[in-house]
Structure 1
Amino acid sequence: MEVKKRLATRGVKAEKIDELLTLDQRRRELVVDSETLRQKKNEVSEAIANAKRNKQDASQQIAAMKEVGGKIKELEEELKTVGANVSDIAARLPNLPNPSIPVGPDEDSNVEIKVIGKPRQFGFKPKPHWEIGEKLGILDFERGAKVSGSRFLFYKGLGAKLERAVYNFMLDEHEKEGYTEILPPYLVNGASMFGTGQFPKFKEDVFQVQGQDLTLIPTAEVPLTNYYRDEVIPEEELPVYFTALSPAFRSEAGSAGRDTRGLIRLHQFNKVEMVKYCKPEDSYDELEKMTKNAGSILEKLGLPYHIITLSTGDMGFSAAMTHDLEVWIPAQDTYREISSCSNCEGFQARRAHIQYRDDNGKLQFVHTLNGSGLAVGRTIAAILENYQNEDGTVTIPEALRSYMHGVEVIK
């Protein structure tokens, strides 16, 4: 009942759980019946052998053997079908939400927990980042669309240098916090996508290589979390912190008409990711640390933001709790998501079989966490808008100037 209640807050109907339980009960019955018939088959087989040794008629036993064999085949076929249905339903059920998070159907139920920094008061009407970038000649959306299609772009000159400065700054900051930098594969197999929870439910959201078991990563969370797939991590190595810069490829299915201009919603964008493996008792402390790691980047860049805890209806499939960081975007006069930091508890570890051995020598599933640290394109958008000047130039945040080889203003 508790599982039904908690999954109901994530949109899972009770009937689906009942269906799963009914199928699982039938699967168990089929296993017992199949084993019973196999035992009977062995007994008949022995009786046939004895009859032949004693030169007796074994025709009845042979007929019984065929009958039992036919029934076993029927059971195995049904067991295969029922087992596949059980696995498919179970694989599509989201993680159980932490009981402490807000309950609600969508983003309107999210709860703001902290506000950091004050939005700048402009003496002029702030322009949107795409207009700023195009006029400065550092963002080229038109040629991006020509070469690849909508929601692609070229970064050019100081725009490309600024993007590189931002992600190098992020990686250096995370390294100071104990994260090991990884350069991961950008193509992963189906087992990896299943392990982190993208497959089977969200295949329409990704780009797959036709005819091959390979998918372009929607986030570096996938290869980083699968680094230890099917392994036992030595207890003394926990917690493990990884960070990586990678492109993220997303089809943005279902987002037609949303953020069609600018850097907010692209098919390809760079992102610096943070991933952690830890013991279950430490995972919520690690979530708070990860959230601070992401927030620290924004604070050092001088970008106002707030932190919200997502409701059960707005949270990602694999998460048990998620803190979103949303950065202030002046031209939209609102906060927009720039990082999601999630504790997946043991959900991904169970799917990917990632364990450690505790003090008693017993195998336990680790807890996994992931967070953006940060989405680079959205960080660029926030810098262009928050640091714009009335004459159309953009001031470079002080924290980035050494990465920009001393450039202080994009003119």
Structure 2
Amino acid sequence: MHDIRFIRDNPAAFDAGLAKRGLAPLAATLIDQDAAYRALLTDAQNGQARRNEASKAIGAAKAAKDEVTAAALMAEVAELKTRLPTLEAEAETLGAALRDQLAAIPNLPADDVPEGEDEAGNAEVSRWGTPRTFEFTPREHADFAPALGLDFETAAKMSGARFAFLRGQMARLERALGQFMLDNATAAGYTECATPLMVRDDAAFGTTQLPKFREDLFQTTDGRWLISTSEMSLTNAVRDQIIPESDFPIRMTALTPCFRSEAGSAGRDTRGYIRQHQFWKVELVSIVRPEDSDAELERKTRTAESVLEALGLPYRKMLLCSGDMGFAARKTYDLEVWLPGQGAYREISSCSNCGEFQARRMNSRYRPEGSKGTEFVHTLNGSGLAVGRTLVAVLENYQQADGSVIIPDALRPYMGGIDRLTPA
């Protein structure tokens, strides 16, 4: 969420940030709305002060037996009593409209974010690993994984499309991946958490899923929202708090199911396990001081990269351009893993620095040591990793000509002695 004071003081910089996002200038409109709101607020406050002053003067006039003055004052108080609620309601309406507008504007890109309209404008930062040379034509996981226990048909009968039913060795492999990622995160200094899978409106608003991404969420009959990522519950752990500076950095991780309606994704990845309504993910969330957030983004991304390297999965690191970043992000790295069945790199992790954007919505602050005032914290989040997509990457990169899949060495301690998935 944006600070109207920053916009008043830096209108050109604000509009330049919007232009980088491909948006029209808004500073002048917002400043005019803010001026109108503050003028109404001032009128209401002045009216209330005058009402209090006149009410006291009535008693003095009556004590002095000045009935003319008393009557005039009583008429003024009566008129103010009628007019003030209207002024206050108008001010509240204008203030709410301004807040809604500020909440609907995406975060401004950091200075080093490349300008671009879509993924074509993203910049490759680095690559790791060499894609395997196959002695046979590699297949997509949807073509050979059903024989290994990745059952789409059974799930579709009970839940519809974009669900999966994992059996036996395949279920064991997914669980192993999640546990391996969680252990990797805790070794990197993240505190393991077990979070709610449902949150209320204010929590979803705080991490920006509401109101913009309402259609991508599932809602319960009592109005709660199923989490689309545990970023929603982890980040809100510091909601409405003033955090001692000595507590930083706060790093949290969780392995949870995630739920997404995938609104607007019709026709994309309809086959296979890449784009599901329900999936597991290890989330990495950091709460830090503003001056530390850039370095924290690099550290967080490195934590996610280390999973891919330990599993021997080739990947590339991309710096997203302004037009491809998420709504709340000021800077984002995507990690894209090589999928030989598709012959392409596909996103498997997204690590973002949101600056104070989410903190303003959550009212999450800290008090610098030696200071009486408070400042907003910076929040960061990232996937460390998406378990289902990592499962796909392991299946495709380690597939064999006979339809079996070799288990990467790093996962074997989690697999109870299984070193290969074999077709049933």
TM-score class, shorter:
over 0.9
Secondary structure, in 3 states, of the residue corresponding to 1:371?
strand
Task: Supply the AA of the counterpart residue of 1:223.
Answer: S
Matching residue within 87, 95, 108 for 2:120: 108
Q: For the residues of structure 1 that align with 2:190 and 2:80, how far apart are their CA atoms?
A: 60
Q: CA RMSD in A?
A: 1.3
TM (norm. structure 2) is 0.93
Q: Does 1:395 align with 2:412?
A: no
Q: For the residues of structure 2 that align with 1:363 and 1:18, how far apart are their CA atoms?
A: 28
Secondary structure, in 3 states, of the residue corresponding to 2:181?
helix
Matching residue within 222, 238, 260 for 1:211: 222
Give, in angstroms, the shift of residue 39 of structure 1: 2.3
Tell whether the 8 Å contact from 1:12 to 1:93 is kept in structure 2 after alignment: no
Matching residue within 268, 281, 292 for 2:291: 281
Partner of 1:166: 177
Q: Does 1:125 align with 2:137?
A: yes
Task: Supply the AA of the counterpart residue of 1:183.
Answer: A
Partner of 1:359: 369
Q: For the residues of structure 1 that align with 2:90 and 2:365, how far apart are their CA atoms?
A: 33
- CA 17–145 in structure 1, closer or farther in 2 if over 3 Å, else same: farther
Q: For the residues of structure 1 that align with 2:32 and 2:221, how far apart are their CA atoms?
A: 37
Q: For the residues of structure 2 that align with 1:255 and 1:70, how far apart are their CA atoms?
A: 53
TM (norm. structure 1) is 0.96
Show structure 1 runs of 5+ residues with no match. none
Aligned length: 408
Tell whether the 8 Å contact from 1:132 to 1:384 is kept in structure 2 after alignment: no
Query: For each residue in 1:185-217, what CA deviation from the matched residue of structure 2 results, as whole angstroms up to 9, or x when unmatched?
Result: 1011111111111112111111111332x1100
Q: For the residues of structure 1 that align with 2:286 and 2:103, how far apart are their CA atoms?
A: 23
State the identity %: 50
Q: Does 1:179 align with 2:190?
A: yes
Secondary structure, in 3 states, of the residue corresponding to 1:378?
helix
Partner of 2:94: 82
Secondary structure, in 3 states, of the residue corresponding to 1:314?
coil
Q: Does 1:406 align with 2:417?
A: yes
What aligned pairs does 1:173-322 form with structure 2 within 5 A after superposition? 173-212=184-223, 214-322=224-332
Secondary structure, in 3 states, of the residue corresponding to 1:401?
helix
Q: For the residues of structure 1 that align with 2:260 and 2:197, how far apart are their CA atoms?
A: 13
Q: Does 1:26 align with 2:36?
A: yes
Q: For the residues of structure 1 that align with 2:324 and 2:261, how far apart are their CA atoms?
A: 19
Partner of 1:328: 338
Give, in angstroms, the shift of residue 62 of structure 1: 2.6
Query: For each residue in 1:286-330, what CA deviation from the matched residue of structure 2 results, as whole angstroms up to 9, or x when unmatched?
Result: 111111110110011010000000011110111111000000011
Q: Does 1:65 align with 2:54?
A: no
Give, in angstroms, the shift of residue 54 of structure 1: 4.1
Secondary structure, in 3 states, of the residue corresponding to 2:341?
helix
Give, in angstroms, the shift of residue 33 of structure 1: 1.0
Q: Does 1:153 align with 2:164?
A: yes
Tell whether the 8 Å contact from 1:180 to 1:241 is kept in structure 2 after alignment: yes
Q: For the residues of structure 2 that align with 1:165 and 1:364, how far apart are their CA atoms?
A: 41
Tell whether the 8 Å contact from 2:244 to 2:368 is kept in structure 1 after alignment: no
Task: Supply the AA of the counterpart residue of 2:238.
Answer: Y
Q: For the residues of structure 2 that align with 1:139 and 1:250, how far apart are their CA atoms?
A: 20
Partner of 1:342: 352
Tell whether the 8 Å contact from 1:249 to 1:268 is kept in structure 2 after alignment: yes
Give, in angstroms, the shift of residue 31 of structure 1: 1.2
